[in-house]
Structure 1
């Protein structure tokens, strides 16, 4: 019986030793696996691409507005009652065409009064001139006329001449004001509004314009270009645009002028394109969608779109140089199909990691 118990103890001890050895072997294998995995992690190969320093042409689409080339509210310069109207809303007029006539009887009376005053002062001037001429002739005889009398007569002539010139200017002014009773068109265009009727009081005492008129045979296409594209605008930029009133039809034009400075309200550059519209197929006030082809004045840095990492801390790209990863802050510019323009401390020889993530840490990579 004791022999049996001893054999049982030996067998149990042997089993325990075998189990302990098995556990140790598993632990060593697990530790070896972890080391291999860690080593494998350090030997990860990142896909990279070179930075491109190029200057491609790119296209953008921006909203715009078609406006009349010229648009004005027509007011009366002098006060008067509307005597006659010759045009109405929708009428096409030529520059200098008569639009309306005002009447102001008191203005005519003032003109007649000024004219009469002018004639009287002119007669006074003629009399003073004749008196001076006679004294001057008489002064040829020594002692006949005192020198002071001759000087006084000359001064009277000069005063009379000055009074006459002033009176004549006043009469001309009154005559000119009478011309303002005739309201004429300042340019070729169309009457868009008629705000008065015959008999209405118009002029400086009224804030109401007589007419609104606009030039329709030529339009201005005006748009606000975002700040990041402002440096890409060059003289002669071509634009294609469409309007909702004529779907499927594209119009072409060329840049005419820019504001030169950014608008302080929305940080944009205003562009204007002159659009000839002789047939009147386009209407001022329409909204348009414009496509512009722009190009930077100097080459810039471009990287693949998927290589840009956007986080809560900002926008970055990851660079792999000499087995060292660096995180470079950048600002995005223009986007093309597969490329993005970026601005930052980037060398043209840098290699960009194509699939960046926040888990990739900066620092050396062990070989």
Structure 2
């Protein structure tokens, strides 16, 4: 019996020892896990410092190429066919609106006008005769039974028919008269003759596809440029700009935004901008290429982070946030750059803390 009690005590001792060892092992494992998590948390906060997101709306500057063009320019064609009789201007001459540039001659057009004019006079005489006949019948009809009603109606119809014929003939004469006016080529606006393509005696008109002259307005110019899509929302009314041209190094010219295309060009995804530039002194030339500096500003504030905070991988661009002991990888698109900051767009909150020097080795897990 004593032997049985001894064996029982040994079993109890072994079980108690095993329980103690298990408890100690579990406690050590938990402590090791907590210690590792604490170390990882400490490594994130110390090895990878964070910085808050900057929410701001700064004015920024970009430089884009542009072109100076005449405010108005047009190719002048002859609307009617004729021979060049006179040329009153040369290339480089300055002209005023309505000034005579050239005279064409078309003898058959003059003959047609004279014929139409003669026909008009004849038809007008017929109309006057029909009207007089009707007026006399109206007076005679005041005496009862003197004129049959059908005769009065017939006279009235003849008068109205003659009136219609006269109106048509008058319109025909006006048409040929207007065509004769087209024999005189005039300037559509104040400007300068940039091309003269014909000589006296040349045939001008529909058979010749070459313009007689080209005229450009140079006292006012258009500065045109294409703004990339990512800057399109930063344009505002009367936006200032400065520009330089290679033909006048060292000189800086000012301009203000006059108009935009309103929509992006589907071919290059850009917004067309136009600046009206006064050139009354004539120091600028239409056709020059220019380099323009624009001062842009977005409508609303946006998120900015340190440029080195953007993690660039094969799968895209990301920032790593460290909030509530949790690391998250957020996909972003880059916007503008300003000194050491980069504008980013993504699922970010103004309260997020961004890891300044991210790495693909940083685990995106929650640390308890």
| TM-score, normalised relative to structure 1 | 0.88
Q: Which residue of 2 aligns with 1:154?
A: 156
Query: How far apart are the structure 1 equivalents of 2:150 and 2:208?
Result: 57
Q: Which residue of 2 aligns with 1:87?
A: 89
Q: Which residue of 2 aligns with 1:226?
A: 228
Deviations along 1:67-114, one digit per CA (max 9) or x if unpaired, are 000000001111100001111111111111110000000000000000
The structural deviation recorded for 1:288 is 0.5
1:316–1:327: 8 Å Cα contact kept in structure 2? yes
Q: Tell me, what secondary structure is at the counterpart of 1:362? A: coil
The structural deviation recorded for 1:42 is 5.5
Query: How far apart are the structure 1 equivalents of 2:320 and 2:282?
Result: 56
Q: Which residue of 2 aligns with 1:29?
A: none
Query: How far apart are the structure 2 equivalents of 1:253 and 1:38?
Result: 60
Query: How far apart are the structure 1 equivalents of 2:300 and 2:131?
Result: 78
1:65–1:288: 8 Å Cα contact kept in structure 2? yes
Q: Which residue of 2 aligns with 1:211?
A: 213
2:192–2:215: 8 Å Cα contact kept in structure 1? yes
- 1:43 partnered with 2:45: no
Q: Tell me, what secondary structure is at the counterpart of 1:330? A: strand
Q: Which residue of 2 aligns with 1:129?
A: 131
- 1:71 partnered with 2:70: no
Query: How far apart are the structure 2 equivalents of 1:287 and 1:361?
Result: 52
| TM-score, normalised relative to structure 2 | 0.88
Q: Which residue of 1 aligns with 2:249?
A: 247
The structural deviation recorded for 1:61 is 0.7
Q: Which residue of 2 aligns with 1:312?
A: 314
Select which of 343, 355, 358 maps to 1:356: 358
Q: Which residue of 2 aligns with 1:118?
A: 120
Q: Which residue of 2 aligns with 1:272?
A: 274
Q: Which residue of 2 aligns with 1:176?
A: 178
RMSD after superposition: 1.5
Deviations along 1:290-324, one digit per CA (max 9) or x if unpaired, are 00111111111111111011111001000001111
Query: How far apart are the structure 2 equivalents of 1:155 and 1:171?
Result: 24
Q: Which residue of 1 aligns with 2:284?
A: 282
2:37–2:367: 8 Å Cα contact kept in structure 1? no
2:228–2:271: 8 Å Cα contact kept in structure 1? yes
Q: Which residue of 1 aligns with 2:31?
A: none
Select which of 291, 294, 315 maps to 2:293: 291
1:125–1:164: 8 Å Cα contact kept in structure 2? yes
The structural deviation recorded for 1:39 is 7.2
1:54–1:300: 8 Å Cα contact kept in structure 2? yes
Gaps of 5+ in 1: 1-34
The structural deviation recorded for 1:347 is 0.6
Count residues in correspondence: 332
The structural deviation recorded for 1:365 is 3.6
Q: Which residue of 1 aligns with 2:197?
A: 195
Deviations along 1:156-190, one digit per CA (max 9) or x if unpaired, are 11111111111111111111111110001001111
1:43–1:365: 8 Å Cα contact kept in structure 2? no
